[in-house]
Structure 1
Amino acid sequence: MTVLLGNSGAPRWYQGGPERLTAYLERLRTWGATATEVVLHHGPADERTARVHLLDPDWGRVLRCYRDAGIAVQVHVSLDPRFATQRWLDEPEDLAREYEPILGVVRDLAAEQGRAVLVLHGANDPARGYEENRRATIGLLGWLAEAAERMPGEVLVGLELGAVKPDRPAATARSRADVLALVQAVDSPRVGICWDLAHDCENAAHEPGWEPVPGSEFLDRVVHVHVHDLGDDGASHYPPVLGRVPIAEQLGALAARGPLPSIIMEVRWRCAARLGEPWELLGESYRRVGATVAELTQR
């Protein structure tokens, strides 16, 4: 079985026009990419948003390029505040309307690919308490689970394990225990965990007794994986070439329990640029993570 392995599809990787995208896709094929994850955004957008998100005028063209290259597409919800999970508590209908176009893309991808994953963050409103953020997260996940059940193919919703932020003490899904509890509260086969390995390692200092491999209950709920590394500055989203995240051990624990889920290297261009030429470092990331995946799947 082919493991879906790729990197985040931020437009910054191919900024410069259609020719640049063609060259980028050729590199991905050379490196053995079988998947990507795009952050979809519609509506008003500034330059910063355009570097990270795939904007709606480009959805059809760019996604078609990926699919024609044989690359499966997974989707991350826009990071713009208009799409924030905490809006579900007071504005569920408005938030649902923001999600509908994105869900339409996910539905079409699942129908074509057989499976598609939608990744989102938990509610993290600093003006609210944890219980309110928790209710918002569970409410949105429940609505998404019902929507996924009606779609052709297999649509999975992955709640991402995020990093602890001191300025957001009431944020949800910022520990293994919390992201697992939220997913269990929804109790749907369509809803699982997006295990971000680097954010998990960032949280080690906040979780007494933390070890690289979580318990079986957590592992059995993982439907999608984010892989990246931690830099000298302590920041995440570096190419997974630095060895600060125990990627082989963690992926090995997943592989021991069944087929590996989709794996996305969530590398930011600017973090790669701090180490060298970004495309070269992305290629090296594919070689290293790809070798690990190949070894695990041959056991």
Structure 2
Amino acid sequence: MGRYEVFKPSRRCRLGFNMHPKWLGGRTAGEFLLPLRELGVSVLEFTLDISSPDWPEVSSLIGECRRLGFLLTFHAPYKGPYNPAGFSGAKRGEVERLYRPAIEYAARIADEDGPLTIVVHGAEGDRPRGELRRDTSAFLTWILEEFPNLCPSIELLVREESVNKIGDNKAELVEIVSGLGSPRAGICWDLGHNARNGSKPAPPGFIRLVRHVHVHDISPDGVDHSPLIFGNVPYEKHLRELVRTGYEGAVILEVNGYLVSRFAAAEGKLPSQILKGNLRLLYRVTSQEKGGWNHQEGRFFGGEAAVEGMKSPASN
């Protein structure tokens, strides 16, 4: 597959996290990542924020991660002007020009290394929901038709009363992805967003369309993308359900590095200790092993090795 020898884990689903140069903390990519490979990490997700001042450093790190044999997934840009709204109408050219550099960057790597997932957000705004759905479907169709080695997964987003946001409910995602009629299209099930939306049961057909998963916790004061230390997201239940159905996609620990650093500092730990503890927990869950944090009894179970670097949610 491509120019590099890819590490292939001996398990069905793939474990990873959202990677950025700031995680390195002065270390080389190998010094930071190879110990995580021993914990089961085989895939790294990068946000394609190519207009950021950090992008040259990010792009260089992407190359190093490929040389180390890690699989990649990408998250299409979604902040600021990035919004597929209008793609099915007169704004198509404008929106396409905005996204194309990032999508083409991912496509070049996919052409060399093999098909890969790119997570996208649906259209949002104050226009009628039906129009935004058409924009979203047209945007996904563009990726599918023009970039044959990219596999777009539309993300489950957090519902907001003040804005129409395509992808903020699971039934709508099923309809959109099913309507595309492509096995390369799928759903990115963000379990943190799922919890913020009320953890409603998955509708018929949802699980079989999940191609990618994001996992993170929510702090007691509602801060999203926190490390898995609070127990406010029932990720174990959903991951075990996916594993039972034969899920073969990636499970990405999508946490905010600043939050990890803050919680680590409060405990006198290194951010890497929190990260490793979270990854050990996810490995156990996706391996159908027993172990984790018992929120009712206030203790860890399943062995000390599984939770090194973790702490009691009550201590926060």
- For Structure 1 versus Structure 2, the TM-score category normalised by the shorter chain is 0.7 to 0.9
1:199 alignment partner AA: H
8 Å contact from structure 1 (residues 106, 117) kept in 2: no
Q: Is 1:247 matched up with 2:255?
A: no
Structure 1: stretches of 5+ with no match in the other structure: none
Hey, what does 1:97 align to over in structure 2? 97
Aligned to 2:305: none
Q: 2:16 aligns with which of 6, 12, 25?
A: 6
Contact map agreement 1:4 1:72 (CA 8 A) in 2: no
C-alpha separation in 2, matches of 1:224 and 1:257: 14
Q: Which amino acid aligns with 1:103?
A: I
Q: Percent identity?
A: 27
CA–CA separation in structure 2 for the residues paired with 1:204 and 1:80? 24
Determine whether 1:33 maps to 2:28. Answer: no
More helix by share: 1
Residue of structure 2 in register with 1:193 after alignment: 187
Aligned with 1:271 (options 228, 248, 259) = 259
Residue of structure 2 in register with 1:157 after alignment: 152
Larger Rg: 2
Question: Does residue 170 of structure 2 align to residue 172 of structure 1?
Answer: no
Q: CA deviation at 1:68?
A: 1.8
Establish whether residue 69 from structure 1 lines up as the match of residue 68 from structure 2: yes
The DSSP-based 3-state class of the residue aligned with 2:212 is: strand
In structure 1, distance between residues paired with 2:31 and 2:190: 28
Letter of the structure 2 residue corresponding to residue 257 of structure 1: T
Q: Which residue of 1 aligns with 2:119?
A: 119
Aligned residue number for residue 79 of structure 2: 80
Provide the residue aligned with 1:223 in structure 2.
211
What SS does structure 1 have at the residue aligned with 2:223? coil
Provide the rounded CA distance (Å) in 1 between the counterparts of 2:274 and 2:257.
10
The TM-score, its normalising length taken from structure 2, stands at 0.79
**Separation in structure 2 between the aligned mates of residue 58 and residue 121 of structure 1, nearest angstrom:** 24
**SS of residue paired to 2:116:** strand
Given that residues 74 and 117 in structure 1 are in contact (C-alpha distance below 8 angstroms), is that contact kept between their aligned partners in structure 2?
yes
SS in 2 for 1:189: coil
- SS in structure 1 opposite 2:189? strand
Root-mean-square deviation (CA, aligned residues, Å) is 2.2
Matches within 5 A, 1:46-61: 50=54, 55=55, 57-58=56-57, 60-61=59-60
Inter-partner Cα distance in structure 1 for 2:14 and 2:146? 24
CA distance in 1, matches of 2:20, 2:90: 31
Separation (CA, whole Å) in 1 of partners of 2:245 and 2:167: 23
Question: What amino acid sits opposite 2:95 in the alignment?
Answer: L
